[in-house]
Amino acid sequence: RKEVEQDPGPFNVPEGATVAFNCTYSNSASQSFFWYRQDCRKEPKLLMSVYSSGNEDGRFTAQLNRASQYISLLIRDSKLSDSATYLCVVRPGGSYIPTFGRGTSLIVHP
Amino acid sequence: DAGVIQSPRHEVTEMGQEVTLRCKPISGHNSLFWYRQTMMRGLELLIYFNNNVPIDDSGMPEDRFSAKMPNASFSTLKIQPSEPRDSAVYFCASSNGTVNEKLFFGSGTQLSVL
C-alpha cells in the first residue's frame, strides 16, 4: 500500500459546483497534513494546512479523519481558476520529511 | 524575497553526459529537499538536507546520482552518466525546518536525456 493515495481523476465539474477530494494515508503516526496546489508546468504551492478540528479558508474546507486515516478537501462554488492538480501531503510524527500523493486533477469548465 | 531559485530551467542532453542541477534556497531556511516528478511516479523525494548535512538520501536512485550542499545558500544535484529514464522535472524546495512549516518550491528543472 502506498503511503499516501489519491484518486488521480480528472474531476470535471462546471463552474459553481461543489467538489470534494479524499486522500488516504498508511502511517498512523502521521501528525502533519497539508493540501498543495500545482498548476500545469508549475511548482507545487501550499494551499492550506489541515488541522485536527477541520479548517476553512474561503471556499476551501479541509478535514482530517484520524480513525479512518484520510483527509479531505472540499471546494465550494468552483471557479475556472481552480483548475489544477491538488496534492495531498503527509508528515509522519517527528519527521521533517513530507510525503506527497500523486495528486488529483480538477478541471472546472464554463 | 526571491524565493527558491533553480537553474537551468530546461536541460537537454545526450545519454552518458553529466548533468548538474543547481538550487539556491530561501535565505534563513535550514532544510532543503530535492524532488523528482514524473507522470508515472509523481513527486519522489531524492534527498533531504538539514543545516547543510544530508539527513536522508534513501530516495537517490543509484550511484549515478549525487547531491551536495557546500553552504547554506547553495546545493547541487549531479547525474553522471545520465540515462533517458532520468528525464523528469527536478524540484528543489526549502523550509525553515519546523514540522508544520510549508515547503517553498523552486520553478524546477525540466531534464530531457536523449
Does A40 contact chain B (CB < 8 Å)? Answer: no
Residue of B37, B99, B111 to mutate, testing the A interface (most A Cβ within 10 Å of its Cβ): B99
pLDDT at B96: 86
Whether residue B8 has a cis bond before it, omega within 30° of 0: yes
* Residues of B whose CB is below 8 A from A35: none
Give every CB contact of residue A90 below 8 A, 6+ residues apart in sequence. Answer: A3, A4, A23, A25, A27, A30, A32, A33, A34, A71, A98, A99, A101
Please give the residue of chain B at the shortest CA–CA distance from A93.
B99
Please name the helix (run of DSSP H) or strand (run of DSSP E) that holds residue A4, with its range, or none.
strand A4-6
pLDDT at B98: 67
How distant, in Å, are the alpha carbons of A72, A78, B32, B89 from that of A53? 12, 24, 30, 35
Taking the CA atoms of residue A67, residue A96, residue B88 and residue A42 in that order, the dihedral angle to the nearest 10 degrees is: 80
pLDDT tens digits, residue range A6-30? Answer: 999 999 999 999 999 999 999 888 8
Distance CA(A9)–CA(A96), nearest Å, equals 29
Instruction: Specify whether the CB–CB gap between B111 and B86 falls below 8 A.
Output: yes
Whether the predicted pLDDT of A1 surpasses 70: no
Instruction: Give me the mean pLDDT over the B4-31 stretch.
Output: 96
**Residue whose C-alpha is closest to residue A85's, from B3, B23, B93, B43:** B43
pLDDT at B90: 98
pLDDT at B1: 62
Does A102 contact chain B (CB < 8 Å)? Answer: yes
pLDDT tens digits, residue range A30-87? Answer: 888 999 999 998 999 999 999 888 899 999 999 999 999 999 999 999 999 999 999 9
User: Residue A77's CB: how many other CB atoms inside 10 A?
Assistant: 11
Does B109 contact chain A (CB < 8 Å)? Answer: no
DSSP 8-state secondary structure symbol assigned to residue A3? S
pLDDT at A18: 98
* Residues of A whose CB is below 8 A from B56: 97
Rg over CA atoms, chain A? 13
Here the cell at position B29 is 531556511
At B40, the pLDDT band (50, 70, 90 cuts) reads: confident
> Would you call B102 and A46 a contact, using CB atoms and an 8 Å cutoff?
yes
> Would you call B91 and A31 a contact, using CB atoms and an 8 Å cutoff?
no
Q: How many CB pairs under 8 A join A and B?
A: 44
The DSSP secondary structure of A52-109, one letter per residue, reads TT-EEETTEEEEEETTTTEEEEEE-S--GGG-EEEEEEEEETT----EE---EEEEEE
Please give the residue of chain B at the shortest CA–CA distance from A47.
B102
Query: Grid coordinates 508515472 are at which residue?
Result: B40
* Beta bridge partner(s), residue A44: A38
Residues in chain B: 114
pLDDT at A74: 97
* Residues of A whose CB is below 8 A from B40: none
> Would you call A46 and B100 a contact, using CB atoms and an 8 Å cutoff?
no
Does A100 contact chain B (CB < 8 Å)? Answer: yes
